[in-house]
């Protein structure tokens, strides 16, 4: 009898806690769909959903938002003043993005497309080896493996030569990074910290991860894109190998905006600012807008970034993403592009790295095909690149995925460049990728066994937290 009373009391307390958590979800979840999903689960099945809500439920934070916006304004005022203001005519169809991000299409950028891990890290290590003043490094993931130790040695060597080195990593993305890896860098004179949106880390919080990948050397050369620091990004870890990914190297005034994005995150963690060095003079042909997005922005900036980019397409829109879980705004923009006669293609993986996301992506792909969007699965290995090609003059390389985490929960960064020569290089790269892909049809979903189709629909219910 006593045991029955204890269990009854525990069940009652769980339901009360579930109702309180559901009230919190109503007040704080960013989207009505997400709020409804949490309320339903917390009210009816608190035994199952309370613990996940501790990890995934928080969608607002005040301290970071206020400081982020204050210091973004301060850093914006510190930007170089010798550039022309306003959006150039060739970039006017993206002017809404520049306005939303308070950014600038910097003229004269020199761009180099870096295809896959070897090319990317060869270029990064070459730049680091030539550093004389300052190195800024930010990745979502650091691993203590062959590539991770190579990065560690490269940074320690420059620190020993008197170069100031600053490193940020995400505490959840790099959860497996051993303490001695960080301590070795600290002892060698490298300033290194874990990013969190709260000064006091909450081990129950998985939202608001810093998914950006940034390297800046001496304020002159910058890198961003999809790759992290780990052997799998060099294609050395089956079953996802070979790993298909893309990074971007740039020089010119836009590099200052990469420094500024890093500085905002660094200031939040440390209360200090790293050096902000003047970029090289502009000698290239590209106009580039650096687009840092995240949940601290007044608008849902990443979702809007995709929406504006898609709406700008008049002839061609090719996208690649490891995850295809678009929200309604992005999916509607893709459908409208098809109706305008735009050649819309999306390249996604044929192998899963996260099974729930893969199932949801498969169902979204079916819906997209129904709307006339062409979906391709990359065959050789896992495709992780985040690239957009618009018409014959615009391309974006960055860290942004086509999913709700990138749209609303993660800090991301991309570089949108208007330049025919660079767009042609991206086109050549993507043509090779599509040649190694298989276009899927409605039959992928229709011929799947009923339990698998049911699993797809269940997985899609969790779109807001995937």
Residues classed as catalytic: 211, 213, 218, 384, 386, 391
Q: Which residue has the tokens 């490298």?
A: 190
Burial class of 234 by CB neighbour count within 10 A (0 to 12, 13 to 18, 19+): buried
Distance of CA 446 to the CA centre of its chain: 32
Residue 178 near residue 142, CB atoms below 8 Å: no
31-to-25, 38, 465 alpha-carbon distances in Å: 10, 11, 11
| Cis, bond preceding 242 (omega within 30 deg of 0) | yes
Residue 417's nearest CA partner among 377, 376, 388 is: 388
Residue 233 near residue 245, CB atoms below 8 Å: yes
User: CB-based contacts of 192: which residues, under 8 Å, 6+ apart?
Assistant: 166, 167, 168, 169, 182, 185, 186
Nearest-angstrom CA–CA distance, 465 and 77 = 36
Residue 290 near residue 323, CB atoms below 8 Å: no
Residue 344 near residue 312, CB atoms below 8 Å: no
Residue 292's nearest CA partner among 303, 304, 279, 301 is: 301
Region of residue 197 (left: phi > 0; alpha: psi -120 to 50; beta: else): alpha
| Cis, bond preceding 239 (omega within 30 deg of 0) | yes
Backbone angles phi, psi at 444, to 5 degrees: -60, -40
Residue 246 near residue 176, CB atoms below 8 Å: no
Q: What string of DSSP letters covers 387-434? A: EEEETTTEEEEES--BSHIIIIISBEEEEEEE-HHHHHHHHHHHHHHH
Q: What string of DSSP letters covers 21-78? A: HHHHHHHH-SSHHHHHHHHHHHHH-HHHHHHHHHHH-----HHHHHHHHHHHHHHHHT
Burial class of 81 by CB neighbour count within 10 A (0 to 12, 13 to 18, 19+): exposed
Q: Which residue has the tokens 């974006």?
A: 396
């Amino acid at each position: 009898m006593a045991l029955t009373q204890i269990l009854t009391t525990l069940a009652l307390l769980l339901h009360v806690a579930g109702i309180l958590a559901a009230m919190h979800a109503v007040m704080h979840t960013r989207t009505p769909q997400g709020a409804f999903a949490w309320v339903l689960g917390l009210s009816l099945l608190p035994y199952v959903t309370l613990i996940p809500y501790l990890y995934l439920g928080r969608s607002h934070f005040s301290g970071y938002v206020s400081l982020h916006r204050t210091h973004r304004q301060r850093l914006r005022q510190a930007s170089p003043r010798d550039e022309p203001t306003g959006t150039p005519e060739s970039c006017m169809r993206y002017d809404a993005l520049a306005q939303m991000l308070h950014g600038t299409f910097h003229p004269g950028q020199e761009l180099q497309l870096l295809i896959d891990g070897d090319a990317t890290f060869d270029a990064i290590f070459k730049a680091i080896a030539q550093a004389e003043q300052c190195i800024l490094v930010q990745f979502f993931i650091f691993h203590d493996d062959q590539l991770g130790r190579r990065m560690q040695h490269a940074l320690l060597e420059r620190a020993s030569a008197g170069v100031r080195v600053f490193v940020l990593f995400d505490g959840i993305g790099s959860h497996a990074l051993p303490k001695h890896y960080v301590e070795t860098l600290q002892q060698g004179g490298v300033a290194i910290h874990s990013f969190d949106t709260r000064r006091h880390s909450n081990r129950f919080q998985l939202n608001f991860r810093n998914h950006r990948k940034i390297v800046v050397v001496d304020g002159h050369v910058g890198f961003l894109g999809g790759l992290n620091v780990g052997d799998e990004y060099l294609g050395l870890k089956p079953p996802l190998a070979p790993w298909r990914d893309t990074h971007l190297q740039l020089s010119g005034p836009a590099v200052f905006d990469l420094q500024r994005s890093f500085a905002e995150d660094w200031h939040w963690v440390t209360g200090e600012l790293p050096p902000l060095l003047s970029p090289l003079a502009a000698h290239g042909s590209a106009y580039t807008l650096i687009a840092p997005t995240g949940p601290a922005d007044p608008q849902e900036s990443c979702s809007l970034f995709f929406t504006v980019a898609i709406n700008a397409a008049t002839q061609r829109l090719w996208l690649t993403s490891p995850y295809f879980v678009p929200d309604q705004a992005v999916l509607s923009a893709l459908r409208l592009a098809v109706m305008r006669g735009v050649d819309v293609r999306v390249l996604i993986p044929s192998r899963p790295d996260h099974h729930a996301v893969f199932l949801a992506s498969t169902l979204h792909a079916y819906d997209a095909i129904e709307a006339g969007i062409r979906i391709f699965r990359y065959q050789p290995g896992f495709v992780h690149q985040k690239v957009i090609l618009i018409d014959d003059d615009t391309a974006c390389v960055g860290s942004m995925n086509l999913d709700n985490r990138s749209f609303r929960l993660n800090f991301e960064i991309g570089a949108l460049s208007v330049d025919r020569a660079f767009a042609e290089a991206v086109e050549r790269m993507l043509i090779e990728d599509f040649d190694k892909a298989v276009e899927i049809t409605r039959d992928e979903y229709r011929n799947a066994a009923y339990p698998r189709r049911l699993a797809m629909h269940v997985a899609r219910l969790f779109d807001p937290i995937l």
